[in-house]
Chain A
Amino acid sequence: MASKEHKIGWSRRPGYAPGFLDPLLRPTSRHHAGLLLFLVCCGVAVVGAFVIRDLQTASAEAQKMYFGSVHGLQQIGELQYYAQETRRATLYALTTSDSNLQVEYADQSRDADQRVKDGIAEYSRQAKPPAETAVASRLTRDWTNYLNVRDEVLASILEGSTKEAVSLDLSGGVPAFELVRRDLNEVKRLYDDDASQRLAALVASSRRSAWRLIGILGFTFLLSGGAVWAIQRSRMLSAIQLAKLQMEFVASVSHELRTPLAVLSSAADNIADGLVEDKAGMRRYGAILQKQSRSMGRLVDEILLFASTEDHKNRYRLQPLEVSPLVDSAVNSTEGLAHAAGFIIDREIEPGLPLVIGDAPAISRCLENLISNAVKYGGDHRRIVLRAYSAPLERGAGGEVRIAVVDRGIGIDPPELARIFDPFYRSPRVQVAQVHGTGLGLSLAKRIAESMGGRLSVLSELSAGSTFTLHLQIAKGDGSQPGATASPPAESSRP
């Protein structure tokens, strides 16, 4: 029946269309989904950092260009102004015959021409392209020529030879200054060209940034959408898988209950029909009824216990415990089951083991589940070893006590190792082999171990056997002094 249920499968249920990515998403657990979301967040953060850096670069370039433009225009404007001022002050000297005023105008002209010289020198220093260098040298030369004429004009004005000064200015000053004016216009034109190129570069850079931003946002959107879709899909698949497992569980439980019920019913019918008359027959039937009813009781207990541990809350009373009584208790509880199946249970307990922290009934229950599991899948070797020993912690300093349940049975497929502790999970191989079970035993054992601060691990090789190990914490301050003895499992200490 389990095999039939498995063949029906979740992928053929109505209302669900399987996708080609489902095989990838199917094993995705909540951790995988969380990891995916974390990766998306990291991706968004990295992308955000790139976007911010891009915007900052664009802003810095714009500011640099703005300040460069303002400064450059100011320099060119000052150059033009002081060139005009040089000439203007010279001509003002013509308007007066007062030598003191003429000297003042000459002074103003010389101040202005010094500023022009400084401006030209600055421009020459900054000139990089050949065109700018050529203009700079031409401007220097033309300005020097004009100043030579200006000096002669000033000298004539100060000497009182106004006519000669005017003649000199018209013949030499005007053409020389016209050349300077052209050079300055050329400087401005080159600057405008350069500014246009820089503006074009900035616009192109801004456009690139915008496209990059759009691309990044689109990519982020797609990635986020994909992640959300994957998470939702994974959850849906998990839910479907859980539903499937639960259905299989219900089927298994029904099967497990039906078998003893059928036996009970048959035995009761036989007794009622008077087929059992002698005492020996009655005793035999009584034993059958007792066995089947206990089997049903254990099954119901296990289901109830699993249901009560579903919320993962720690309901155990933890205390220092001696290991040996715990092992004995578990072996004693399962001895009947093992003997019935023809199994021998060996105990190998390391002497002087320290006390462990735990709840005695819970540890016994955990070990019983592991022993039952070993009996079910122990194969033909029919030998189980319970080994208790101390060992160093795999991570960090200190040690722990390990109780290993070793069998030489059918083993577990490596791909299934990650799932054997999932609730309701039963290997397709054992379902096909019609090994009865609910798929809760190992899950319950794992929950018990973790609730006590321990853990459960497994090593297995197909067709060679399995070793389930319960890792228990050592009680603090314990040397090897026994603190408390294990008591048999009690209902009151169950979760």
Chain B
Amino acid sequence: MRRLTTLLIVLVLTGCPPSNAGRAAVPESEGFLEQQTGTTEPLVIVVNRTNPVDNLSLAELRTIFLGGRSHWANGRRITLVMRGPGDPERKAILRDVCGMSESQLKTHFLRGLYSGDILVTPKTLATPAGVRKFIFNVPGAIGYLRISDVDASVKTVRIDNLLPSDKGYKLHAQFQVANDGE
């Protein structure tokens, strides 16, 4: 009973409907293929403005986004902020940072929470503005945004000492192009 309750909580917090739990291990390669066509835009890792962290390695980022690290160096609790499943930015993070599919990520967090290895569960927000506001309000929050969605309310973090505008920056999201070119 306790395990079932924990499972339900995890599902709610990760934004996955219970009906998807049965096929959590199924790869979603179709979704990846669909997103391969379209424009590419750098994906920016953002934190609260009071966070002293300026640079993270891709490995550190992977550890954080997989819940392997619970606190920052200044003692603040780390709060992960992600967009909902199916979102291009989320897919890019899963692919480039976590190296997992959606279902693998769910399984990872389910297992980690169940075993007690993971103490941090991602918060899911529906819009880029919501992500910005969440990070602005929570000193230990970390999330990601398209470069066009970044403003002064959040702080941009270098990845492997590279800014999104630098050559060799690794995080990019692909978006489908609408008929009118947007």
Instruction: Answer yes or no: do A and B interact.
Output: yes
List chain A positions with a Cβ less than 8 A from chain B.
97, 99-100, 103, 106-107, 151, 154-155, 158-161
Q: Are the CB atoms of B139 and A155 closer together than 8 Å? A: yes
Which residue of chain B lies nearest to A158 when distances are taken between CB atoms in the complex? Answer: B138
Contact with A along B77-117 (1 / 0, CB 8 A): 10101000000000000000000000000000000000000
Could you say which residues of chain A place their CB within 8 Å of the CB of B141? 158-159
Please count how many residues in chain B sit with their CB below 8 Å of the partner chain's CB atoms: 19
Chain B's interface: helix, strand, loop or mixed, by majority? mixed
- Decide yes or no: A100 and B125 within 8 Å by CB, A158-B138, A159-B138 being known contacts: yes
- Decide yes or no: A97 and B79 within 8 Å by CB, A107-B133, A158-B123 being known contacts: no
A38 to B33, CA, bound (A): 107
A151 to B139, CA, bound (A): 10
List chain B positions with a Cβ less than 8 A from chain A.
12-13, 77, 79, 81, 121, 123-127, 130, 133-134, 137-141
- From residue A168, how far is it (CB to closest CB) to chain B in Å? 13
- Give 5 A-B pairs besides A97-B12, A158-B138, A159-B77 with Cβ atoms closer than 8 angstroms: A103-B130, A154-B138, A155-B137, A158-B137, A159-B138
Q: Are the CB atoms of B124 and A103 closer together than 8 Å? A: no
A99 to B131, CA, bound (A): 10
- Decide yes or no: A99 and B137 within 8 Å by CB, A159-B77, A159-B79 being known contacts: no
Which residue of chain B lies nearest to A106 when distances are taken between CB atoms in the complex? Answer: B137
- From residue A371, how far is it (CB to closest CB) to chain B in Å? 115
- Decide yes or no: A100 and B137 within 8 Å by CB, A158-B79, A158-B123 being known contacts: no
B125 touches which of A103, A159, A160 (Cβ 8 Å): A103
- From residue B34, how far is it (CB to closest CB) to chain A in Å? 26
Could you say which residues of chain A place their CB within 8 Å of the CB of B124? 99
Q: Are the CB atoms of B123 and A160 closer together than 8 Å? A: yes
15 contacts between A and B (CB under 8 A): A97-B12, A99-B81, A99-B123, A100-B125, A100-B130, A103-B130, A103-B133, A103-B137, A155-B137, A155-B140, A158-B123, A159-B138, A160-B13, A160-B79, A160-B121
- From residue A260, how far is it (CB to closest CB) to chain B in Å? 127
Q: Are the CB atoms of A154 and B137 closer together than 8 Å? A: yes
A107 to B125, CA, bound (A): 14
- Decide yes or no: A100 and B79 within 8 Å by CB, A158-B137, A159-B140 being known contacts: no
